């Protein structure tokens, strides 16, 4: 079997340490790269090797050694990870739609974390966000980053200890299928739930936000489904929705989506809501989309405020108003009958009565009940043969467009 080493690299020297096999079990090697006071560690598992003592060490003039083994995870850190957190943590959600970070949002997140220890979770990339949070935003004792490359890392004792120690956890973007495949049902998944229960802040951007709702698009179809594809076959196999991944009471009954207007995702969110209503026999489902370069900050009481790089940026709330009316009038049986032919495999979505509300910088949103005041717009949208049609637009809302009766929506 192959051999796993452990290299500590400074500017010019490598401290090479051999870790011998033991009992034929999996072994985790380690590389630590130190540069400008920031530390990078890569750990990986190799079948056939096991934890053992350091047999010896020798200095040599060499570059960092490479390994044919795939890393189970990589670890980066900045700051003092052993400092006690003096301030109290406060519950909070930072729901980012992807794209550019907003300084005010991360400063708020640091405050919710008691200015203590932030842990960033990812499945790709390196420590760029860590450098931004620790070096630019500041106000925290440390920032640690874990980049996952396999499911085994989500049960690794070192990983679990780092996450358990966190005062706030933030999940990066990328491909949410990795998060579903690597984390769901693991000890790490349980720790994320525990962190929320303990009143610590949790945030996510792009794929990291996609998994925070009670339901989420898992992207398990091998791609990222587009609105026209989801509307054309909402009950088809490409609409891969997962549920009860991370349990966040303020997002109960919610499915999230990101990069919203920029990638034209209103159509697919309507399809997701319709599919969930049919599969779970309930209209108590709300879609929440967040535009790129934008964020919703939600405090412990569920009060959310919106920030964006764009003056016309929004968070989008999708309510299946017609379905709720049907369910209220006739219960589950009536809802199921209403949806039977309208959300069917191989057929386009045919469903009226969605309400779409835009949350802007001057709006207020209260979760989990989705009480909204001063929205930027409120629109009534029907889906006819897989095509969105804007039926009405509330012109009393700030920035609302004029009503377009029966005109096909550009989304």
Mean pLDDT of the 196-213 span: 97
* CA 76 – CA 107 distance, rounded (Å): 21
* CA 396 – CA 410 distance, rounded (Å): 22
Cis check: omega of the bond before 368, within 30 degrees of 0 = yes
Q: Residue 31: pLDDT band by 50, 70, 90 thresholds?
A: very low
Q: What is the per-residue pLDDT for 41?
A: 52
Whether residue 154 has pLDDT greater than 80: yes
Mean pLDDT of the 290-299 span: 98
Tell me: the pLDDT tens digits for 208-260?
999 999 999 999 988 899 999 999 999 999 999 999 899 999 999 999 999 99
Q: What is the per-residue pLDDT for 368?
A: 97
Range list of H helices, 240-302: 266-280
- Comparing CA positions, the residue from 214, 271, 202 lying closest to residue 243 is 214
* Ramachandran quadrant class, 151 (left: phi over 0; alpha: psi -120 to 50; beta: rest): alpha
* 2 neighbors 52 (Cβ within 8 angstroms): no
Q: 202 CB contacts (<8 Å, ≥6 apart)? A: 92, 93, 94, 168, 169, 170, 171, 192, 195, 196, 212, 246, 248
| Average confidence score pLDDT of the chain | 84
* 255 neighbors 241 (Cβ within 8 angstroms): yes
* CA 176 – CA 72 distance, rounded (Å): 17
Instruction: Give CA angle at 45 (43, 48), nearest 5°.
Output: 145
Whether residue 5 has pLDDT greater than 90: no
CATH 3.40.50.880 in the chain: give the residue spans: 71-212
Q: What is the per-residue pLDDT for 409?
A: 34
Please give the residue that has the higher pLDDT: either 396 or 6: 396
Whether residue 385 has pLDDT greater than 60: yes
DSSP E strands: which ranges in 101-220?
117-122, 142-148, 168-171, 202-205, 215-217
The CATH class that applies to domain 71-212 reads: alpha beta
Q: Residue 188: pLDDT band by 50, 70, 90 thresholds?
A: very high
Lowest-pLDDT range, 47-56, 94-103, 223-232? Answer: 47-56
């Amino acid at each position: 079997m192959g051999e796993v080493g452990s290299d500590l690299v400074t500017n010019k020297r490598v401290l090479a340490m051999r870790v011998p096999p033991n009992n034929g079990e999996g072994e985790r090697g380690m590389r630590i790269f130190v540069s400008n006071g920031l530390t990078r560690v890569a750990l990986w598992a190799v079948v056939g090797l096991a934890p053992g003592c350091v047999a010896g060490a020798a200095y040599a003039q060499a570059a960092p050694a490479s390994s044919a083994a795939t890393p189970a995870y990589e670890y980066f850190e900045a700051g003092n990870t052993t400092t006690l957190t003096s301030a109290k943590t406060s519950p909070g959600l930072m729901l980012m739609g992807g794209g550019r970070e907003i300084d005010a949002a991360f400063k708020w997140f640091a405050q919710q974390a008691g200015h203590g220890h932030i842990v960033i979770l990812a499945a790709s990339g390196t420590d760029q966000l860590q450098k931004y949070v620790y070096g630019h935003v500041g106000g925290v004792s440390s920032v640690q980053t874990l980049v996952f490359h396999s499911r085994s890392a989500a049960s690794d004792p070192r990983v679990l200890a780092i996450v358990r120690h966190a005062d706030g956890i933030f999940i990066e973007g990328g491909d949410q299928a990795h998060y579903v495949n690597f984390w769901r049902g693991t000890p790490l998944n349980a720790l994320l739930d525990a962190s929320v229960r303990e009143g610590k802040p949790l945030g996510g951007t792009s794929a990291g936000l996609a998994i925070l709702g009670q339901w989420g698009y898992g992207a398990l179809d091998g791609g990222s489904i587009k609105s026209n594809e989801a509307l054309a076959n909402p009950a088809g196999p490409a609409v891969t929705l997962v549920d009860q991944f991370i349990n966040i009471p303020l997002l109960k009954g919610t499915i999230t989506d990101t990069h919203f207007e920029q990638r034209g995702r209103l159509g697919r969110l309507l399809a997701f809501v319709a599919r969930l209503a049919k599969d779970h026999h309930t209209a108590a489902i709300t879609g929440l989309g967040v535009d790129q370069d934008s964020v919703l900050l939600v405090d412990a009481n569920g009060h959310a405020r919106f920030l964006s790089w764009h003056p016309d940026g929004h968070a989008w709330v999708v309510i299946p108003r017609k379905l709720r009316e049907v369910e209220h009038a006739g219960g589950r049986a009536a809802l199921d009958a209403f949806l039977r032919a309208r959300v069917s495999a191989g057929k386009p979505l045919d469903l009226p009565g969605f309400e779409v509300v835009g949350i802007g910088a001057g709006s207020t949103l209260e979760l989990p009940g989705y009480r909204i005041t001063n929205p930027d717009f409120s629109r009534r949208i029907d889906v006819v043969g897989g095509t969105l049609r804007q039926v009405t637009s509330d012109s009393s809302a700030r920035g609302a467009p004029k009503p377009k009766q029966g005109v096909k929506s550009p989304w």
